[in-house]
Chain A
Amino acid sequence: MSDIVLSMKGVEKVFGAFRALGPVDLDLRAGERLGIIGPNGSGKTTLINCITGVYRPDKGSVHFEGRDISHIEAHRRARLGISRSFQIPRPFTGMTVLENLLVPLDYCHVDGSREERARSVLSSVGLAGRVSDPSESLSQLELRKLELARALVGNPKVLIADEAMAGLSEEEIDEVLAILLALNRSGVAVIMIEHIMHAVMRFSERIVCFETGRLIASGTSTEIAENPLVQKVYFGE
């Protein structure tokens, strides 16, 4: 199918004797909202590390827009349009909020001025008032927003949001969800990895569940909620 933007086939990652992931087959359609759930240590983070290039998979392949990217470096994947936010925000400390966004802009093509692009993205996530503040001075919610702004400033085709809402209040979760939905409406496929179940359920068109490195279930929010395997993982027998 031509609208598959990201495709994983038989991806496996092994650390010593520990199989952290796989084999996993997973496709992402252009503009899709995919939720990934699963307990801690189920392989979610390993999966996105294999997609973004932090790890090279031991077996299998990752294709992006039809091109095999399994062996190319992380920064090249970022430039191709695979972007991510980190579970624990990693702002570029020692720089202002604006400069944080200029870093990815140094390495990608945008129409018009880089600084204007950075400012418009910052105002779209609600950080317009913080543009020239040092990134160390941001609150937890603002750090999450900066993390997202930095990930989407280079016009990615896929955004991976790794627990972008952990530790936020209900209103703050709504704010982050609104940002992600607006981004998705502009055509960006979003992979949401999240423990906050009601947020994933509301957001995702499709949800997959991981357990001990394997994909155990896939379906809509309702299908996943009713899936006995998923229930077993989350609620025991």
Chain B
Amino acid sequence: MFSIDILLNAVVTGILLGSVYASLALGLGITFGILHIPNIAHPTLVVAGAFFVYTLTQWELDPIVAALIGLVPFYILGVALYLFYSSVFERRGGANVLQSLTLFFGLSLVVEILLVLGFGSELKSVSAPYIGSSLKLGLLTIPYRLLIPALLGPAMIAAVWLYLSRTNSGTAIRAVAHEERALSIAGLNPASVKRHAFGIATATAVVAGAALIMVGPVEPFAGRYQIGRVFAIVVLAGMGSIPGSLVIAIAIGIAEALVASYLNPSWSPGVAFAVLLLGLASRPQGLFGAAR
């Protein structure tokens, strides 16, 4: 039963899948990890991004180009979401975590149903010249529909990470969660910094959506199967640690691919959740973040 090429292919597939998962989790890493806003609607926004990309590819556009076009409307969508969120909770003097969770839960359902009403509940996929063929390297067979998204994800993560660590407005985003007062003293408006951060987080959803729909067909409720994964990644990486999230995502990807190859593919949705529960029970502060 055991053969080296199955193992090797499983590990490589896992690494590639993990890179895609990391891009799905990036937006949540910003909203939940840095801003501490529990945006459980993020996976649904990724699915909405996938449908946006699907729509544009109907006009013979490349999915990656479609995703780049989507950055602006999704940034604006994110800003609008944050404005709604903050107007609801600021009137009450600060957000209650449980109420914001409920708000985003309701929001994700509304987005899902709007997608069903707009596109139907069937699976949708995209086509591009490179989707369908594979790269063969010795024992390895890597389909391009997995390789291209797997490269897209880390590229976007690197770009966002450089932005957050090297630019002034990026530093302001990292500072806003901890030092809101210091930020106002420095002449920056914390609300506008958060709005901007939420916009960026939502913009990543369209790129992640492109990656998702390139890997395989997507249906409106696909976000639900990603929730366990993205939260496992963000929480276990240590809230807000973006490089850490890439490592955890790849680890989860490998675990899922091994389960799929050696056990049964139908078990893999449970893997991330099991990892999350075990991680929470043993190391609540995450593997890469500083201890609280």
The short answer to whether A and B are in direct contact, CB under 8 Å, is: yes
Closest to A15 in B: B291
Which A residues touch B292, using CB under 8 A?
Answer: 15
B290 in the interface (beta carbon within 8 A):
yes
Q: Is A16 interfacial (CB 8 A cutoff)?
A: yes
Which residue of A is nearest B289, CB measured? A16
Q: Which residues of A contact B290 (CB under 8 A)?
A: 16
Question: Which of B256-292 touch A at CB < 8 Å?
Answer: 290-292
Q: Mark A2-20, 1 if CB is under 8 A from B, else 0.
A: 0000000000000110000
- A: number of interface residues (CB 8 Å): 2
Which residues of B in the span 196-223 have a Cβ within 8 Å of any Cβ on A? none
Q: How far is the CA of A200 from the CA of B240 in the complex (A)?
A: 41
Chain B contacts with A in 42-81, Cβ cutoff 8 A: none
Chain A proximity of B206: nearest CB distance (Å):
36
Which residues of the other chain, B, contact A16 by a CB distance below 8 angstroms?
290-291
- Binding site secondary structure of chain B: loop
- A48 → B minimal CB distance (Å): 18
Q: Name which residue of chain B comes closest to A17, CB basis.
A: B290
In the complex, chain A residues whose CB is within 8 Å of the CB of B291? 15-16
B291 to chain A, nearest CB (A): 5
List chain B residues, Cβ under 8 A from A15: 291-292
Question: What separation, in Å, do the CA atoms of A15 and B292 have in the docked complex?
Answer: 7
> What is the CB-to-nearest-CB distance from B284 to chain A, in angstroms, rounded to a whole number?
14
| Min distance, Cβ B285 to any Cβ of chain A, angstroms | 9
A16 vs B285: C-alpha distance when bound (angstroms): 11
Quick one: which of A137-192 are within 8 Å of B by CB?
none
Minimum CB–CB distance from B123 to chain A (whole Å) comes to 46
Write the nearest CB–CB distance from A100 to chain B, whole angstroms: 20
Q: How many angstroms from the CA of A15 to the CA of B285 in the assembled complex?
A: 12
Looking at the assembled complex, report how far the CB atom of B65 sits from the nearest CB atom of chain A, in whole angstroms: 44
| Cα of A24 to Cα of B220 in the assembled complex, Å | 58
Q: How far is the CB of A108 from chain B (nearest CB, A)?
A: 30
Nearest chain A residue, comparing its CB with the CB of B291: A16
Distance in angstroms from A17 CB to nearest chain B CB is: 8
Nearest residue, chain B, Cβ from A14: B291
Question: How many whole Å from A62's CB to the nearest CB in chain B?
Answer: 21
A218 to B291 alpha-carbon distance, docked (Å): 32
**How close is B205's CB to chain A, nearest CB, in angstroms?**
32
> B285 — nearest CB in chain A belongs to which residue?
A16
- CB B199 to nearest CB in A, in angstroms, measures 31
User: How long is the Cα–Cα vector from A71 to B2 in the complex, in angstroms?
Assistant: 49
Look across to chain A and name the residue whose beta carbon is closest to the beta carbon of B290: A16
User: B119 CB to closest chain A CB, in angstroms?
Assistant: 44
Q: How far is the CB of A142 from chain B (nearest CB, A)?
A: 19
List residues of A (1-50) whose CB comes within 8 Å of B's CBs: 15-16
CB distance from B216 to the nearest CB of A (A): 41
For the complex, give the distance between the alpha carbons of A73 and B162 in Å. 44
Please measure, in the bound complex, the distance between the C-alpha atom of A160 and the C-alpha atom of B291, giving whole angstroms. 27
| Measured CA separation A15–B291 after assembly (Å) | 6
Alpha-carbon distance between A16 and B291 when the two chains are bound, in angstroms: 5
Bound CA span A74–B45, Å: 42
A107 CB, min distance to chain B CBs, angstroms: 25
Q: A16–B292 Cα gap in the complex (Å)?
A: 7
Q: How far is the CB of A63 from chain B (nearest CB, A)?
A: 27
Shortest Cβ distance from B92 into chain A, in angstroms?
13
Q: Report B187 CB to chain A, min CB distance, Å.
A: 24
CB distance from A92 to the nearest CB of B (A): 16
B94 to chain A, nearest CB (A): 13
Cα A6 to Cα B292 with chains together (Å): 27
Q: How far is the CA of A15 from the CA of B289 in the complex (A)?
A: 12
CA distance A225 to B292 in the complex (A): 35
Chain B nearest Cβ from A45, distance in angstroms: 15
- Chain A's nearest CB lies how many Å from the CB of B241? 13
A15 to B290 CA separation, bound complex (whole angstroms): 9
Separation of A30 and B291 alpha carbons in the complex (Å): 36
Tell me how far the C-beta of B290 lies from the nearest C-beta in chain A, rounded to whole angstroms: 5
Q: How far is the CB of A55 from chain B (nearest CB, A)?
A: 11
A-B pairs with lowest CB-CB distance, top 4: A16-B290, A16-B291, A15-B291, A15-B292
- A to B CB contacts below 8 Å, 4 in the list: A15-B291, A15-B292, A16-B290, A16-B291
